[in-house]
Structure 1
Amino acid sequence: MTGRGLDVGGWIAREGALSRVPAAFAGVVDAARARIAESFDCARLHSAYLYGSIPRGTAILGVADLDLLLALHAEPAEADRAAATRIEQDLDQSFPQIDGVGILLFSTRTLLSELERHDLGFFVACLCTPLLGDDLADQLSRYRPTPLLARETNGDLSLALPGWRRQAATAATDKQRKALSRLVARRIVRTGFTLVMPEWGGWTSDLTESAEAFGLYYPACAGQMRRAAITGRTPSPDPGLLRELIDDLGPWLAAEYAVVHGEKAIRP
């Protein structure tokens, strides 16, 4: 590593590894591997991956969520989604070390497609840690922090805003508002970071570092982005904070992103 998430060749380095999983989460990861293998046979499952703070080694006990991606040989079906939901619930209930489990399901065809090369392909190759099966990263590109990568990873923030507004309007409990604030804040911070990523010249998934990088180029919005980074780590039920993220910072960021990098290619 040469710094800023790049290897000696200037490519974005894979950010996680099983060797970085904190000892307190090792049992959770082992259980996830076992549950996935029990629920998906080799005819259905191509490979499984960890991503997020646990394989990066930065997870906070009792706060971190367990994030998993399953690559299937065929398009996900209802039975696959039901099996994934059972795994999510089982792991979340069994391990107090984590606060929530999320499993993404995609076919290998989608993950390896040209349309997804600079979005889901990048995600697997650089942000996911192999857990089971053959690593799809061997069939994917290497990546640099380019405007193309910025556009295809986060050039669709405007599409998320209307749904967030509806969720905020119907959120009736602090728990619901906290969950939404975490989701929205993380997405906004990551979008803010990739807005400046090509000029900053590297990659990070750390929310604090992302907000600081953004602030170097947009000092007038630096305070809002720092608050978003704090919310991404410690969610808040404050409706005023949600309004700031969804109705103020979010729309400005989406518009600025479209000007600087353009909008993400439309998915079917």
Structure 2
Amino acid sequence: MTDRGLDAEGFIAREGSLSRVPAEFGPVVEAARERIAASFDGARLHSAYLYGSIPRGTATPGVSDLDLLLALHHEPTPADREAADALEAALDAGFGQVNGVGALLFGTGTLLSELERHDLGWFLACLCTPLLGPDLAAGLPRYRPTSLLARETNGDLALALPDWRARLAEPGTDLHTLNRAVSRRLVRTALTLVMPRWGGWTSDLAASAEVFASYYPDRADQARLAAAATRAADPDRAVLTVLVEDFGPWLASEYLAVHGEKAPRP
């Protein structure tokens, strides 16, 4: 049975920790801490976090990427984004252990807002590991695997489908980038569709597909196809077509029927 990712009281447990960072990635994480502090002074940066496979302890050297979230005192400006881009490039070039570096930027007002309470707030509190500065999770609630959480995390899948279709139809599209976006989003949406019934959370994509499959056996093969695509070195356009034209639309429709539509963002 897949670990349901809950604490003793039934709340979703924070999944990462600095103590779980594999030894090979320790220098990368330390360099990220130093470079973030050097790039964003205290007037700009409130706190910084890791998320993804590195703080979960499941990263593979040369394959996994380094994922960062920077919480700023103000809403991000073009200058902030430029500084983050330079940070990403320096870390990516300096460490062969990582295959890409990405930094999300948000203002603390957004992260702590009522609108984002069950989306970005949950993401920070449950999926992000504190790296630098005070932890914003202290100002957020604890979360259970509810239908509200499902709705606010992935109840907008339908909005992504037209863009995916357009990109897939373009001959020069970067299939690696598109495949990463499509496959990961569909597997995670498949999990959150059944998350309240299953009563848990996991970031393991293969396990997520199997949890979903136990509730929707008729769509199990497509969920497994999406999970396999997240690990594909050479994305297959035919597989992407199945995911974008069949599994994605079905999943979006079923999601709306079960959980409803995510609250609109400005």
CA distance in structure 2 between the partners assigned to 1:70 and 1:166 by the alignment: 31
- Partner of 2:141, secondary structure, is coil
Q: CA RMSD in A?
A: 1.2
Number of aligned residue pairs: 265
Structure 2 residue 235 is matched with structure 1 residue 241 = no
Q: Which of 194, 199, 207 is the equivalent residue of 1:209? A: 207
Distance across 2 between alignment mates of 1:264 and 1:189: 18
The aligned counterpart of 2:109 is 109
Structure 1 segments (4+ residues) deviating >4 Å: none
Residues 148 and 60 of structure 1: CA distance in aligned 2, closer, same or farther (over 3 Å): same
Say if 1:182 and 1:234, in contact at 8 Å, map to a contact too.
Answer: no
Question: Which residue of structure 2 lines up, in the alignment, with residue 9 of structure 1?
Answer: 9
Which residues in structure 2 correspond to 1:100-179 (within 5 Å)?
A: 100-170=100-170, 172=172, 176-179=174-177
Verify: 1:96 aligned to 2:85, yes or no: no
The question of whether the paired residues in 2 share the 8 Å contact of 1:181 and 1:235 is answered with no
Mapped to 2, the partners of 1:263 and 1:253 lie a distance apart of 13
Instruction: After TM superposition, list the pairs within 5 Å mapping 1:12-51 onto structure 2.
Output: 12-51=12-51
Q: 1:69 to 1:48 in 2, by over 3 A?
A: same
Secondary structure, counterpart of 2:88 in structure 1: helix
Picking from 205, 224, 247, the partner of 1:226 is 224
Q: What is the deviation of 1:169?
A: 2.2
In 2: Cα distance, 1:171 partner to 1:238 partner: 13
2:253 equivalent in structure 1? 255
How many angstroms apart in 2 are the aligned matches of 1:81 and 1:33? 17
Rounded Cα–Cα distance in structure 2 between residues aligned with 1:46 and 1:179: 30
1:59-99 C-alpha deviation (Å, 9 max, x unpaired) = 11111111100000001000000000011111111111111
Per-residue Cα deviation, 1:6-51 (whole angstroms, up to 9, x for no partner) = 0000000000000000011111111111111110001100000000
Return the offset for 1:236: 3.4
User: Is the 8 Å Cα contact of residues 210 and 220 (structure 2) preserved in structure 1?
Assistant: yes
Q: 1:56 aligned to 2:56?
A: yes
Unaligned runs of 5+ in 1: none
String of CA shifts for 1:216-263, please: whole Å, max 9, x gaps. 000011111111111112353211111111111101100000000001
Confirm or deny: 8 A CA contact 1:179 1:235 kept in the other structure: no
Write out per-residue CA displacement over residues 115-140 of structure 1, whole angstroms, 9 at most, x where no aligned residue.
00000000000000000000000000
Given the superposition, is the C-alpha separation of residues 154 and 59 from structure 1 closer, same or farther in structure 2, using an over 3 Å criterion? same
SS at match of 1:189: helix
Query: Take 1:156 and 1:29, find their aligned partners in 2: how far apart are those partners?
Result: 33
In structure 2, the partner of 1:72 is 72
Structure 2 unaligned regions, length at least 5 = none
